[in-house]
Structure 1
């Protein structure tokens, strides 16, 4: 009676695989194996193949095969763009507020007893009456800031920053200086007398931050330059640039005039402000 075969015997029985040459039956290779070893090798190969496939799908080929990859990338880009937009909106709001304050200061819309926060609502609702009542002679806001500080503290001889010293300033107009810079007498610029209809040129490259009419100074244009420098041109008969325009040094921006209440004849009142302090234009411009 033949012995009963079991699974254990089936797995552990040894077999011999002989590979021969077809022509002369010469033995080329002999392989000894059993089914247990064959199953072990097949299982290991399957697991390695599966692991390699998972690695390819989740890492190498994720961009092609995973539908969530594009969504994840889009979400990351959306978050980055949102943060950049928020930063830009904040910077734009600061710039707009800065420009608004500069325009109001140059235009003399803020008096000594008033601030930007508690500006009278009646004045804003009735600009003709309120504007005339709030205007003070000779650049009201500039003088107010000047009177609130010690004269010795203000750097009237201009800032010594390297950026300002390296800035080349064009002569705004060829003419005769009739009234020089004197902050003690509330005169924060120089008055230049020239021919009728003489063009007014920009002192340096910059952006126009104020271009409008004021009661005391007539047509006024202000330009922001690098190095926190602002140049102001007053009493013009006509202004040729608008707010936001970029102007080059030496470019014509206005025409000499006699506008405004605080003028006694055709001339240009030219001011330079650096870091919020008035500086003497004659120290940097050859008139």
Structure 2
């Protein structure tokens, strides 16, 4: 096995020397085995990856199962997102329609919490902490200064051209601004979005609300007419209503415009030039 051999290659016509190779049978067996292992590994890799769809009869079934699992996870997350969005939209609708049912339930929960708090020996300390947070301005205060770069960097169209007759004043429950303009002036959408509310309310008359990206909602009240319905997709600058004087809480033709970001009312004049 270890005896050395010489392989000489010569020209057939003149017997001139071309090449010489030294070898042993042990070396030939070793390199043959090494080539066999290399070919086997490459073949195994190709059969399980590139050529699996031709050589593996269960490949299609396994890929289908993977796709089904991925689609199932995507549907679950989408269903959860839609459910949360529906709850958010329903709460906004209740606020716009002036539904007092939710307020009563929250009042009952608050009273129950106060009874439980009164039984707590540390209730005075908790009450002082609450007063301190209220005086300094907690996160629950509407209209607080929200320094959100994404919202500030987003360009928002002016819904109407005119002058602001009443500014944003959340302390007096005025969660928007009043803009006076010409008669029958069209009201335009501030950004791309979907109409989530378009109806008549006793206090605000014809009201339309649009859901935008970044959890931003724009509300337009006291319109004489609405040009869009719930579910309609609307582009930035597109007309959605006509300025009017509808509803009980109005004293002349104007647009009451509100911006809600992450469930809190913000000052429209901080983001839009009127």
TM-score in terms of structure 2 length: 0.64
- Give ranges in structure 2 of 5+ residues lacking alignment: 1-32, 110-132
Question: In the alignment, does 2:188 pair up with 1:208?
Answer: no
Q: Over the residues paired in the alignment, what is the CA RMSD in angstroms?
A: 3.3
Question: In the alignment, does 2:186 pair up with 1:199?
Answer: yes
Indicate which of 65, 70, 80 corresponds to 1:80: 70
Report what 1:103 is aligned to. Answer: 93
CA distance in 1, matches of 2:213, 2:154: 8
Report what 2:7 is aligned to. Answer: none
Q: For 1:177, what is the secondary structure of its paired residue?
A: strand
State the aligned residue count: 210
Structure 1 residues 227 and 86, CA gap change in structure 2 (3 angstroms): closer
Cα deviation code 1:16-63 (max 9, x no counterpart)? xxxxxxxxxxxxxxxxxxxxxxxxxxxxx9xx8xx96x9699747653
Indicate which of 240, 246, 255 corresponds to 2:233: 246
Q: How does 1:1-287 map to 2 (within 5 A)?
A: 59=48, 62-111=52-101, 112-115=103-106, 150=134, 152-153=137-138, 154=141, 156=143, 158-287=145-274
Q: What is the Cα deviation at residue 264 of structure 1?
A: 2.2
Structure 1 residues 245 and 75, CA gap change in structure 2 (3 angstroms): same
Report what 1:8 is aligned to. Answer: none
Structure 1 residues 83 and 223, CA gap change in structure 2 (3 angstroms): same
TM-score in terms of structure 1 length: 0.62
- Give ranges in structure 1 of 5+ residues lacking alignment: 1-44, 119-148
Q: Is the radius of gyration larger for structure 1 or structure 2? A: 1
Report what 1:24 is aligned to. Answer: none
Q: Which stretch of structure 1 is more off in the superposition, 261-270 or 224-233?
A: 224-233
